[in-house]
Chains A and B, each alone.
Chain A
């Protein structure tokens, strides 16, 4: 028990953690934004498509859901540039990976949301003469969004935590910052205590904010 906690070195390098946290948030926000687009497009396509398209979309979802994220990160960062002549930075590579990853989860979220929109609402949309596209935009999607908002928040929180995996390809996000401080100061306990606290506090703050948004929408139901 000869270890005494000393946080001085952590505070000295705190900019690594703070900068890392901001980058983590940025990675999560960009990825979920792209993931939402992928998820929405594929979910809308899925519910109106034939068997072949459905099978392809289902294959994508199953592939992503059954392969560990860290492998996908390696695959995209090391694998793809080896096969095709394409250069991109580690953060870009990670955003691409995380977007495709979250997209697969969100297809499922949005698909079940679309199918949960009561049939009567769609009938009402038809009855006033809305075209299929107008029914999608003005009737189906707004109701679907309300239904899927909690699942969307949960996905976002999990993506925020998943950004820590970017450290394996040296993206300077929060976990990478923690590793850097650890290697340079050897204050392993302190740095991971602080880092854990930062993930926790940020995660809770995000959850709290998102629940507020959900409550507003639920009141409007």
Chain B
């Protein structure tokens, strides 16, 4: 990957974070170029989800810097550690989309309503415009007929597809996917991954945390292996997932993974 030639869309530089005494991120650095699909894998507790949540500042971080399009996330300019105003944070978060493990749809709004909320309140679109955009994206995720259904009336896979539509309808610069298939029944995983794959083909920049190794191998431009709060290995899928890797931790992880999943 010739990421050095193009300026990184997402630039994570030496980010560290602790929960009390426990260091969850230790000087993590990672650059993601526009159009890349980067998958983060690793054992639980390795800091994958925390890192993802730092990118849209759902979690604060203690040291280092995270920049999207050159703009510091969360803090006013690197070094000052001065938290941005809530208004600024909201505006910055609107530039990243996030899809959650537990879907987190707004239960009182229909599928279309979930998508329209950000469009009308954050993007300032009229309801008619927002509705049209919502319908477009619901169509893209195969749920055009469910526009007026409430989340409770949808299956897990359908809810997650609405979750994806809600995120991408905002036209984010980057899409963050946090174990989006982990809460789904196995037979529903495929329909969600198919949507992610089609977004990747459209050139959407994505960073995802997943346990779907086969999907990670096929859909990612690069894979990041995290262990103990740090980046332990990074590279193209074939390299990182190679059985003969010399990285001890990675080899153990992959061996354990293969033993339990295949």
Contact = CB atoms under 8 A, between A and B. Distances in A.
A, B: real partners: yes
Interface of A: 118, 120-121, 123-132, 134, 138-139, 142-143, 146, 220-221
Interface of B: 56, 58, 86-87, 89-98, 100, 102-108, 117-118, 121-122, 150, 152, 166-167, 170
Nearest to B92: A129
B159 to A, nearest CB: 12
A127 B97 contact: yes
Contact of B106 (A124, A126, A129, A132): A124
Contacts of B90: 126, 129-132, 134
Nearest to A141: B108
B93 A128 contact: yes
A120 B104 contact: yes
Contacts of B170: 128-129
A123 B104 CA distance: 8
A113 to B, nearest CB: 14
A146 B108 CA distance: 9
Contacts of B92: 129
Contacts of A138: 106, 117, 121
A37 B89 CA distance: 30
Contact of A131 (B86, B102, B117, B167): B86
Contacts of A131: 86-87, 90
- Per CB-CB distance, the 5 closest pairs between chain A and chain B, nearest first, are A129-B94, A128-B118, A120-B104, A124-B104, A127-B98
Given A127-B167, A128-B170, A129-B90, A120 B102 contact: yes
Contacts of A130: 90, 117-118, 121-122
Contacts of A128: 93-94, 97, 117-118, 122, 166-167, 170
A124 B100 contact: yes
A120 B94 CA distance: 17
B250 to A, nearest CB: 30
A143 B98 CA distance: 21
16 contacts: A118-B104, A120-B100, A121-B104, A128-B94, A128-B117, A129-B94, A129-B170, A130-B117, A130-B118, A132-B86, A134-B122, A138-B117, A142-B106, A143-B107, A146-B107, A220-B108
A215 to B, nearest CB: 14
Nearest to B117: A138
